[in-house]
Chain A
């Protein structure tokens, strides 16, 4: 008969993890959330592309003012605006301004700036035109004094203040802020969805009593580890697909102008922090899930740790866009409770000192063995006790 059947410790964990992976990858919820996130992300990239492609204003030039088209564009560029120009007859131009096709129309002989607008002029466009008008006046004076306006213009343009920063600040560019926010949302969603899946999975086994059958063959820690690893693997796969497709879409459409190495670095940090955050939080969720026997009660027990995930995310998303160097966020992002949500946001934005990034990782890595021990103890003691909610203190105490 079957005298020598051996299932290795990790083979049992592997079997459990494999079941979790199969079940979750085939579930509708997983496919729909992954697809929906991808669609949102690619859609966002496309929107950014079209939004970035347009100019700030379209100005018509007519008659003598047609010669102003090139200086107008150059002036606009020098103060960070993009202006398109279109040559029209004055009559056609006026009707286009009236219909809104043109934002403004330059009329006159080109020696002075006379602008026709529908009602009032855009403040930025007014600035551009004022600067241009000043330049024209200056050029006239220089010519009257016998100078060469072009040469003087070049000299003026070349003169700049030399800045010597004592502590060079990190230059957060807009793209990296956006990527940081997206990284934050991804980590947050993933911790939320997959962390809850662990707790629900534990309760499913408990409420359907299948746990009794399982524990007759494998040890509680193997069941818990298999579940955490299996769901974690699926979450990781999802994260890689979403992160990879998102970055690829960004680079392909030209919305992202990061170097490929920075992009890959961002995805790697995202994965590292997902894994660390997921393992730490899901151990807690698994242990707390084992305390209750009904799906309705899951929410109640996992809310306290979930609040830390939510709090970290909310702080990050509300403080970082306006103040990327926030001291509060800097400190919180090293504390293990908040690090999984805040650190990846900061890392995606860039400018995190190496020691901070390293310390945050080390602290979570040190915390994990303690959590394994604690969660294993609570889980083993509580998972076979069905019925009323097991008190946390009882679960810790029982041998």
Chain B
């Protein structure tokens, strides 16, 4: 059996003179949670809309299980658009049943799925209310239910976490992890990088319509600079100034973050720290996704400046 992979292969799109996507390429394996990050306007939403067939690509192809995606296969995608969209004056329950039926569920199957998902997402009590009467957070839950009611084989979610309270974020995270565990490829975009770092198996960073980094979180972080964190309560500012190849990145309170250049000796740093008194923390820290993201974006800015 062909692996149930979602592949975006060399997709390009331009609006007049503006290039929105340039040869965008990546794949999401079955059971994988893929985080899609990038600045505003980098091309995340355009990519997702093309995958869903809402927009037509100028070139490139989107494949599912090795076959170019068609309207019939698209019915298996659970989609959450960036701009939330539901009929404001339609009741939650009826609306979800309608959407489930458009995805091919029978009347009874649709009703059952709607009951299940509204229970699970905590909006079961609002099934008979019009969508417009719900709070934004609850509307978001209904929107997620709309993406899930037809038991999708692929999930494509544009900013699913924006505007959610911490409880809802947990609910959403659990649902996404569960779906991935069932073998569904899950792609979502987000600006909450800590969440992406925690949840995703792999991350793709997009810049100006191109994928600039795409790998597991660990691999991406491993490639970056390593910082040294030293917590020495007795040390005065400037204690590490004389050390060869060491630059101070940040000094706040008793903690100092150091950047070790080539050939710098971390043991020399530890000795210097101990000379000032007790040392309560001495650790190597790999850069976070946020720092990595900033680097990627700033590289671009420098490139433009140069």
A-side interface residues toward B, CB under 8 Å? 1-2, 5-7, 12, 15-16, 19, 22-23, 204-205, 208-219, 384, 386, 399
Contacts and interface: CB of A to CB of B under 8 A. Distances in A.
B74 A217 contact: yes
B292 interface: no
A19 B96 CA distance: 12
B87 A210 contact: yes
Given A212-B81, A384-B55, A219 B71 contact: yes
Which of B55, B98, B102 has most A Cβ within 10 Å?
B102
Interface string B38-82: 000000000001001111100000000000000110111101010
A216 B74 contact: yes
B103 interface: yes
B224 interface: no
A215 B53 contact: yes
A209 B84 contact: yes
29 contacts: A1-B151, A1-B153, A2-B151, A5-B75, A5-B104, A5-B150, A7-B75, A15-B101, A16-B102, A22-B94, A23-B90, A204-B87, A205-B87, A208-B88, A209-B81, A209-B84, A210-B85, A212-B49, A212-B52, A212-B81, A212-B83, A213-B79, A213-B86, A215-B54, A216-B74, A217-B74, A217-B99, A384-B55, A399-B56
Contacts of A213: 79, 81, 85-86, 99, 146
Contacts of A23: 89-90
B76 A2 contact: yes
Nearest to B103: A217
Contacts of A5: 72, 75-76, 103-105, 150
A218 B52 CA distance: 11
Contacts of B53: 215-216
A216 B52 contact: yes
B75 A212 contact: no
A16 B101 CA distance: 10
Interface of chain B, helix or strand or loop or mixed?
loop
B8 to A, nearest CB: 16
Which of A7, A15, A211, A384 has most B Cβ within 10 Å?
A7
Contacts of B146: 213
Which of A211, A212, A217 has most B Cβ within 10 Å?
A217
Given A5-B76, A5-B104, A216 B86 contact: no
Nearest to A211: B85
Contacts of A22: 94
Which of A5, A22, A384 has most B Cβ within 10 Å?
A5
A219 B87 CA distance: 18
A299 B248 CA distance: 64
A216 B77 CA distance: 8
A388 to B, nearest CB: 13
Contacts of A208: 85-88
B198 to A, nearest CB: 27
Nearest to B52: A216
Nearest to A23: B90
Nearest to B101: A15
Nearest to B4: A1
Contacts of A2: 76, 104, 150-151, 153
B104 A6 contact: yes
A218 B77 CA distance: 12
Contacts of A211: 85
Given A19-B98, A218-B102, 5 more contacts: A6-B104, A15-B101, A205-B87, A208-B87, A210-B85
Contacts of B76: 2, 5
Contacts of B105: 5
Nearest to A210: B85
Interface in B81-120: 81, 83-90, 94, 98-99, 101-105
Contacts of A218: 71, 102
Nearest to B146: A213
A15 B97 CA distance: 11
A216 B104 CA distance: 13
A3 to B, nearest CB: 8
Nearest to A5: B104
Given A1-B153, A216-B53, A217-B74, A7 B104 contact: yes
A204 B87 CA distance: 8
Contact of B79 (A1, A15, A216, A384): A216
A399 B58 CA distance: 11
B133 to A, nearest CB: 14
Interface string B13-46: 0000000000000000000000000000000000
A277 to B, nearest CB: 28
A6 B83 contact: no
